[in-house]
Structure 1
Amino acid sequence: MIKLTRIDGEAFILNAELIRYVENRPDTFVTLTTGERFIVRETMDEVVDRTIGYQQQKQLLPTMSPHCGA
């Protein structure tokens, strides 16, 4: 999940797994695999950097084993 900002200033969390592509026209458009499209304040490079960071973090977080005592 990545945090982005709509063009009107409202922050939201986006499932980065659903990003199909990002365009710069000059506003930044994020199109999802569902066909839904968002215009965000972040630059195309910022969206890409956050998505890469999200993917890297996924690999660093330990998975919870059902056998761990809680």
Structure 2
Amino acid sequence: MIKLVKLKSQDDFVLNAELIETIEETPDTVVTLTNGKKLIVEESMDEIVRKVMEYRRALFRGMR
């Protein structure tokens, strides 16, 4: 799970990183989920990728 902020509303939410299908900057950052839902967030594409990588590293650390 990763924490993101909705664009303009400043509301935090937690997203299951496994549901992310694509991330685009158009110039706003649009996260498309596997179910087709689109979320517009404050974070850049690079920030989201970094958060997903940290999340997955933490998962694998727990498996050792």
TM-score (norm 2): 0.93
Aligned structure 1 segments of 4 or more residues deviating by more than 4 angstroms: none
Question: Are residue 44 (structure 1) and residue 45 (structure 2) matched?
Answer: yes
| Bigger share in helix | 2
Query: May I ask how many residue pairs the two structures share in their alignment?
Result: 63
Structure showing greater radius of gyration is 1
- For the residue of structure 2 that corresponds to 1:26, the secondary structure is coil
- Over the matched positions of the two proteins, sequence identity in percent amounts to 44
RMSD: 1.2
Q: How does 1:30-41 map to 2 (within 5 A)?
A: 30-41=31-42
Q: How does 1:1-70 map to 2 (within 5 A)?
A: 1-7=1-7, 8-62=9-63
- Unaligned segments of structure 2, at least 5 residues: none
- Unaligned segments of structure 1, at least 5 residues: 64-70
